[in-house]
Structure 1
Amino acid sequence: MTLSTAPVAHKRRWAGLAVLSASLLLVVMDMTILNVALPAISASLRPDAIQLLWMVDVYSLVLAGLLVTVSALGDRWGRKRMLLTGFGVFGLASVLVMWAESPGAVIAVRALLGVGGAMIMPSTLSMIRALFTDSRERATALGVWAAMAAVGGALGPILGGFLVENFSWHAAFLVNVPVMAVAVLAGLFLLPESRNPRPGRWDALGTVLSIVGMVGLVYSIKHFAKDGLTDPTALVSLAVGALALTWFVLRSLRRPDPLLEVRLFRSGPFTSGVLAALTTSIAMAAMMLLMAQWMQLVQGYTPLETGVRLLPTAATALIVSPLAPAMAERIGARTVLAGGLVVAGLGFLVLFAAPLVYGWVALALLLIGAGMGSLAIASAVIMSGAPLEKAGSAAAIEETSYEVGGVLGVAVLGSVAAAVYRAALPYTGTRAEVVRESIGGALDVAATLGAQGARLAEQAKVAFGDSIAMTGAVGAVLMLLAAAAVWKLTPRTLDIGAAHH
């Protein structure tokens, strides 16, 4: 394609990609920073168990609930406008943290961050689809985008750990403000406006159904993980979510201009890209959660030391992501996509089969990161399978799969880990319920018990090691099953460099 027909001047579109990548980096970092800041927030504000749960959950509930609606709005209202508004909301919420002196205020700020995140995340993806009309360039740009997401996930705990240790937990949020201010200014000049030329009528009922369905689904998964499969709140929430989502999908299939283009799933490559994104997200979220606990509670590292030791995943993802499109040109997108899942699966296998010491853990993290990196192709496959006017729908589906995958990972694999931990710890003494609830609880109780406590702490650490090994086995099986499905769904001849205009 010639530059004269390109909608964005050659240099400006790469500068535009830098703005989009930086904003995505921050949103992903923000998800992980909270994990590190939580102990400090708890110590300072003394939230009860329900408030603590909401502090963690509200961000992903709001984000997941709004993704579909905000993407459809962006297609109509203008994706650039939506993105810049998202930057503003995210920056504002980060400033408001300064006045958050109660658990309720922190929950409100996290909800507002979720609104900003929902505006930013799908907009960055659909803007890349609009910025890069040449499909080879677009594959490279999406590789860079995916690398930034991986780096954000790794930098969050390091930066969060540093800020919490040296300043206060407020500082972990304030770091967003200058970046968002720069992103708004740069975005105004560097990003072109793009929207769907034929948006059709707004679907009010569809909007309500998508929000109720996604929030119900995410809320129920989180509560099943915490309270077990018979928890009535979670069961009701799941029923409402499933009903709303089924109605939403049927409605979307019947309408000529649906809120979300569900028909994209008729494409095998599109479905395989979404499946790869979902599976990777499940595996990554569970792994990071368990590894962060193992390093801090079992190995005794500080939050900052833990963040640094989790770096192998981001480092390999950062190297492999931008190379993935070139690898796909050589050996085929199908091989890279399924191969990435197999490599990540091998990483989980290491956790299952090898002794639980940092050397082996680092190898597992390297393999998981390399597998993640090659999944930069998933974004290219998803976006190449969607026409430009449906870019918002494709981006919303991809982002939703990442978001739901993250929640599922913590809930499902986290529950497997918790069940194995409880089964491996035959403790019936003082405060047995607390001890068997989590390793953190066990170590707290052990600290009060003297000589008997030392034995309990040792038993708890061994049980937690068993739970990591079992989660590794489940994660490996999950990744390998997904690899087989992706191999079957993706055509051998799929070329993500073939132009889709």
Structure 2
Amino acid sequence: MNPRPTEPHPRRWAALAVLSASLLLVAMDMTILNVALPEISADLRPDAVQLLWIVDVYSLVVAGLLVTAGALGDRWGRKRMLLAGFAVFGLASVAVLWADGPAEVIAVRALLGIGGAMIMPSTLSMIRSMFTDPGERATALGIWATMASAGAALGPIAGGLLLENFSWHAAFLVNVPVMVVAIAAGLILLPESRNPEPGRWDAWGTALSIAGMVALVYAIKHLASDGWTAAGVAAALLAAAALTWFVRRCLTRPDPLLEIRLFGNGAFTSGTLTALTSSIGLAGVLLILVQWMQLVHDYSPLQTGLALLPMALAAGVVSPLAPAIAARIGARTVLAGGLAVSGLGFLALWTVPLTYPWVAFALLLIGAGLGSLAVASAVIMSGTPVEKAGSAAAIEETSYELGATLGVAVLGSLASAFYRSHLPEDAAAPVRESLGGALAVAHETGSPALAAQAEAAFTGSLQLTSLYGGIIILAAAAAIWRLTPARLDLASAQH
């Protein structure tokens, strides 16, 4: 029998504003760096592997630590965990001032990942505990999810505005004042909450979850980019062994670190799959698209951010309306339909001429589809008992982060392979390494033909990546239609 609902927190909407603002910034941090990558490359000269690590290490660390951070928050206190995460995030952002090489930037991004892992599950768990009315909770979760999708879309725009007037360091330093304000507001507005009966701490499970997730992401990155190397295969085997052992422990313990049994609910599984696949497509294609705008079409960072504005506007318009639309036509239709619209947007980038009006049209479709997915969190929570909210939050956030890593690693590696295959085999290493390197060599040697060939190869890689991203998302839409209960009512979530 579920515990009797408590009175809703009197300052719950003000507290939601603090949680949503912090999530917006963390989500922006996943994509804001895409706009700064060319400037970082020009300044620090990272090789291709270092460049992928600068992008990927944030998601890798977050994915590895989310389960542990969520479980610790349940024991230590979700407010304490959240405020500590704000502090780590802010301090890591200041540390970029001392970064003068690719390794230091990767370390800063890893520290940001630690802070992000402490912040993200705490926000969702606190919303679950503060909003006891099912209708209010669905609205609050819709706002929360809107901030996540809006942050991913607004990241490149904010990055462009900053880089127009400042160095690439500004993409990190912008976090600092927001974190200071969030800590001050959180101390005043946020209530403390924790699991009153957390059970025994599973130290072995903690080690297995971290080792398994880190090894999994490492294996995905290196097998996708380097093929079947010894290091990649060893990481894959370690991930399979550690995660299998972790799942077995969670299924056999009365107080598991992560409640794996939640996947027995179709609504929960469909919401999680939505988070995973939407992140795969967005992270993978956006990484290539931003570089294509800047390097092929010579957009400035600000122009690139503004060029991506149709996606942000569409997501911002559709997201607040998604819960109401779901109440009318059903959550299943909104989830599967939203993914299908996004998938068609990705396919448009593959089929239409890549002039800006057509690109803007594709971005509108992608943004509208992502906006309709604002109900995904509510769908996940509708299939989750209150006492398991922490596990649900950790699983959802892990899906988003793992999806982002998969998108960059798999789709990014696919794009790199296509790019290299359409260049002469005897081309210089910098030419085959990246488009930025090819353009630099073409400029130094006075070879416009080389620049044109490299730009055409990179454009083809964008189209191919968009095709595969669209196929993945459309396949997920079909699966979600089958998994989600037809009569799922978000306003009647368990409480």
| Aligned residues of 2:28 and 2:153 also touching (Cα < 8 A) | yes
Q: Residues 97-136 of structure 1: matches in 2 within 5 Å?
A: 97-136=96-135
Q: Deviations over 1:291-339 (max 9, x none)?
A: 1011011111011111111121121111111111101110011111110
Q: Distance in 2 between matches of 1:232 and 1:375?
A: 39
State the one-letter code of the partner of 2:58. Answer: Y
| Aligned residues of 1:197 and 1:389 also touching (Cα < 8 A) | no
Q: Distance in 2 between matches of 1:476 and 1:103?
A: 32
How much is the aligned-residue C-alpha RMSD, in angstroms?
1.9
Paired position in structure 1 for 2:433: 437
Q: Residues 163-242 of structure 1: matches in 2 within 5 Å?
A: 163-227=162-226, 229-242=227-240
Q: Deviations over 1:30-55 (max 9, x none)?
A: 22233333444444445566655543
Are positions 1:335 and 2:336 aligned together?
Answer: no
Q: Distance in 1 between matches of 2:70 and 2:363?
A: 33
Are positions 1:65 and 2:64 aligned together?
Answer: yes
Q: Distance in 1 between matches of 2:377 and 2:130?
A: 15
State the one-letter code of the partner of 2:327. Answer: E
Match for residue 427 of structure 1 among 424, 427, 432: 424
| Aligned-pair CA distance for 1:380 | 0.6
Q: Deviations over 1:130-184 (max 9, x none)?
A: 1222222222222211221222223322322333342233332221111111111
Match of 2:354, SS state, is coil
| Aligned residues of 1:135 and 1:384 also touching (Cα < 8 A) | no
Match for residue 364 of structure 2 among 363, 366, 369: 366
Match of 2:490, SS state, is coil
Paired position in structure 2 for 1:478: 472
Paired position in structure 2 for 1:280: 278
Match of 1:456, SS state, is helix
| Aligned residues of 2:423 and 2:457 also touching (Cα < 8 A) | no
Pair 1:61–1:349, CA change in 2 (3 A): closer
Match of 1:142, SS state, is helix
| Aligned-pair CA distance for 1:193 | 1.5
Structure 1, unpaired ranges of 5+: none
Q: Residues 211-360 of structure 1: matches in 2 within 5 Å?
A: 211-227=210-226, 229-360=227-358
Q: Distance in 2 between matches of 1:134 and 1:27?
A: 27
Range with greater deviation from structure 2 (45-54 or 292-301): 45-54
Pair 1:295–1:45, CA change in 2 (3 A): closer
| Aligned residues of 1:196 and 1:390 also touching (Cα < 8 A) | no
Q: Deviations over 1:103-137 (max 9, x none)?
A: 44433332221111100011111111112222222
What TM-score results when the alignment is normalised by the length of structure 2?
0.94
Q: Distance in 2 between matches of 1:347 and 1:52?
A: 27
Range with greater deviation from structure 2 (34-43 or 350-359): 34-43
Match of 1:196, SS state, is coil
Q: Residues 36-55 of structure 1: matches in 2 within 5 Å?
A: 36-46=35-45, 52-55=51-54
Paired position in structure 2 for 1:151: 150
Paired position in structure 2 for 1:396: 394
Q: Distance in 2 between matches of 1:290 and 1:50?
A: 15
Q: Distance in 1 between matches of 2:73 and 2:327?
A: 32
Are positions 1:387 and 2:388 aligned together?
Answer: no
Q: Residues 445-484 of structure 1: matches in 2 within 5 Å?
A: 445-450=441-446, 453-484=447-478
Q: Distance in 2 between matches of 1:236 and 1:126?
A: 35
Q: Distance in 2 between matches of 1:121 and 1:369?
A: 22
Number of matched pairs:
491
| Aligned-pair CA distance for 1:370 | 0.8
| Aligned residues of 1:74 and 1:123 also touching (Cα < 8 A) | yes
Pair 1:349–1:50, CA change in 2 (3 A): closer
Q: Distance in 1 between matches of 2:49 and 2:343?
A: 35
Range with greater deviation from structure 2 (154-163 or 254-263): 154-163
% identity of equivalent residues? 69
Pair 1:341–1:85, CA change in 2 (3 A): same
Range with greater deviation from structure 2 (482-491 or 23-32): 23-32
Pair 1:99–1:475, CA change in 2 (3 A): closer
What TM-score results when the alignment is normalised by the length of structure 1?
0.93
Q: Deviations over 1:271-300 (max 9, x none)?
A: 011011111000100121111011011111
Pair 1:338–1:99, CA change in 2 (3 A): same
Paired position in structure 2 for 1:77: 76
| Aligned residues of 2:60 and 2:402 also touching (Cα < 8 A) | no
| Aligned residues of 2:34 and 2:290 also touching (Cα < 8 A) | no
State the one-letter code of the partner of 1:232. Answer: A
State the one-letter code of the partner of 2:481. Answer: W
